């Protein structure tokens, strides 16, 4: 294993954009325990385990077990107070991790019954994001994600809601949940509504399903980014397509390993994708479930794959360029990444 981890620069100080993060999945473990206790809810033991979730979602029942754990965490987000607290804590945690920009995915239909409907849910999250961004200095934006296990008409309804908030804090439209159900092509109309409103197309694809789902997301949904997309590595022509279109893959190493998509961090194809010219942005996906934040993802590919600081800085820059951050934030983060790279490595040469 290359010995670059010891002498690398401080990864917390590397300016970052975090593009793949789900709202309830980003809750602090202590907050989950506190809220569940206050509400008299019993939590599944796996949610409380310090090691985090480990499931093989590529096996038949794995995904539904994962989804049940996620749903149990989401249950404690019972009202506006919890939403504001979660969003505020995400901003604090991301700021501590060196993120200057964060895009959080939310499926408003999972909260609508508790928060007064789809539109009030979006308004609440956006208001909480503005407040958290003002307090922490870390910019926040919302990706509205449709549930691919539901009817495509529901996704179209959500896309119309997203459209109403384009330019007002909603920056993208996603597609989440069990990838083995709901092919990308079925959601083409919803994504057309979102893209026509100027939103980024950011569906999950190429995680549980192979290159066909990647092609579906790229061709039918005109994806600007893919959630995961790692299985593109199975086909050079697919990687060439992603490279040619400039599609950014939101690669989440800890998630891939915890969910059995990759056997180990060494096998998450960051180097292969980059060698093929594909842009890669590291993400944490669900830090609550995997007990691994954004800095941990950079540290994992440094330690387990031997990525140099130059390569890590390139990943950070890909994330910034693939984000919806406003020009001033983008410029500040990119120049910060250059400054990080020209700073002296910790524990480096004494000459
Ligand atoms: Zn995800």
Average pLDDT estimate for 22-40: 97
| DSSP tag of 147 | E
Contact between residue 221 and residue 191 where contact means Cβ atoms under 8 Å apart: yes
How much of the chain exceeds pLDDT 70, in percent?
Answer: 97
Per-residue model confidence (pLDDT) at position 57: 83
Catalytic residue flag (residue 272): no
Placement of tokens 């934006």 in the chain: 141
Catalytic residue selected from 94, 123, 179, 207: 207
Residue 142 pairs with which residues in a beta bridge? 104, 170
CA of 26 to the centre of ligand 1 (A): 11
CATH topology of domain 11-342: TIM Barrel (3.20.20)
CA of 7 to the centre of ligand 1 (A): 32
Q: Which helix (H) or strand (E) holds 201?
A: strand 200-201
pLDDT tens digits for range 35-46: 999 999 999 988
User: b/e string for 44-68 if b means 16 or more Cβ within 10 A?
Assistant: eebbeeeebbebebeeeebbebbee
Mean pLDDT of the chain: 94
Question: Is the pLDDT assigned to residue 87 strictly greater than 90?
Answer: yes
Residue 102 pairs with which residues in a beta bridge? 18, 140
Per-residue model confidence (pLDDT) at position 4: 45
CA of 177 to the centre of ligand 1 (A): 8
CA of 236 to the centre of ligand 1 (A): 24
Residue 98 CA to chain centroid, in angstroms? 16
Burial of 149 from C-beta contacts in 10 A (0-12 / 13-18 / 19+): middle
227 backbone dihedrals φ, ψ, rounded to 5°: -70, 115
pLDDT tens digits for range 102-112: 999 999 999 99
Average pLDDT estimate for 209-214: 92
Q: What's 227-283 look like in SS3? A: EECHHHHHCHHHHHHHHHHCCEEEECHHHHHHCCCCCCHHHCCHHHHHHCCCEEEEC
DSSP annotation string for 73-136? HHHT--SHHHHHHHHHHHHHHHHHTTEEEEEEEE-GGGTHHHHTSHHHHHHHHHHHHHHHHHHH
CA of 255 to the centre of ligand 1 (A): 9
Contact between residue 169 and residue 198 where contact means Cβ atoms under 8 Å apart: no
CA of 348 to the centre of ligand 1 (A): 36
Contact between residue 268 and residue 253 where contact means Cβ atoms under 8 Å apart: yes
Return d(Cα 231, Cα 210) in angstroms, integer. Answer: 5
pLDDT tens digits for range 169-198: 999 999 999 888 889 999 999 999 999 999
pTM: 0.95
CA of 137 to the centre of ligand 1 (A): 25
């Amino acid at each position: 294993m290359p010995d670059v981890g010891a002498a690398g620069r401080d990864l917390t100080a590397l300016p970052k954009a975090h593009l793949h993060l789900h709202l309830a999945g980003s809750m602090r473990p202590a907050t989950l325990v506190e809220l569940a206790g206050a509400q008299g809810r019993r939590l599944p033991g796996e949610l409380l385990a310090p090691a985090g979730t480990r499931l093989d979602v590529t096996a038949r029942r794995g995904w539904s077990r994962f989804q049940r754990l996620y749903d149990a965490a989401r249950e404690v987000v019972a009202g506006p107070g919890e939403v504001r607290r979660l969003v505020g804590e995400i901003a604090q945690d991301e700021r501590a991790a060196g993120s200057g920009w964060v895009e959080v995915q939310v499926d408003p239909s999972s909260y609508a019954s508790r928060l007064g409907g789809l539109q009030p849910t979006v308004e609440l999250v956006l208001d909480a994001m503005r407040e958290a961004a003002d307090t922490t200095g870390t910019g926040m934006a919302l990706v509205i994600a449709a549930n691919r296990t539901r009817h495509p008409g529901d996704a179209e309804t959500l896309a119309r809601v997203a459209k109403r908030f384009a330019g007002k804090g909603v920056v993208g439209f996603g597609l989440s949940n069990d990838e083995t159900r709901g092919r990308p092509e079925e959601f083409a109309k919803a994504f057309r509504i979102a893209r026509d409103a100027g939103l980024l197309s950011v569906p999950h694809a190429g995680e549980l399903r192979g290159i066909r789902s990647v092609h579906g997301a790229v061709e039918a949904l005109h994806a600007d980014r893919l959630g995961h997309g790692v299985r593109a590595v199975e086909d050079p022509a697919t990687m060439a397509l992603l490279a040619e279109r400039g599609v950014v893959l939101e690669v989440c190493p800890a998630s891939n390993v915890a969910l059995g998509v990759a056997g180990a961090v060494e096998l998450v194809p960051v180097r292969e994708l980059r060698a093929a010219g594909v842009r890669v942005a590291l993400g944490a996906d669900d830090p609550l479930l995997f007990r691994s934040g954004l800095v941990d993802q950079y540290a994992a590919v440094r330690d387990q794959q031997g990525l140099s600081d130059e390569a890590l800085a390139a990943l950070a820059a890909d994330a910034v360029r693939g984000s919806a951050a406003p020009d001033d934030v983008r410029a500040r983060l990119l120049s910060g990444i250059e400054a990080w790279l020209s700073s002296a490595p910790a524990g480096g040469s004494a000459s």
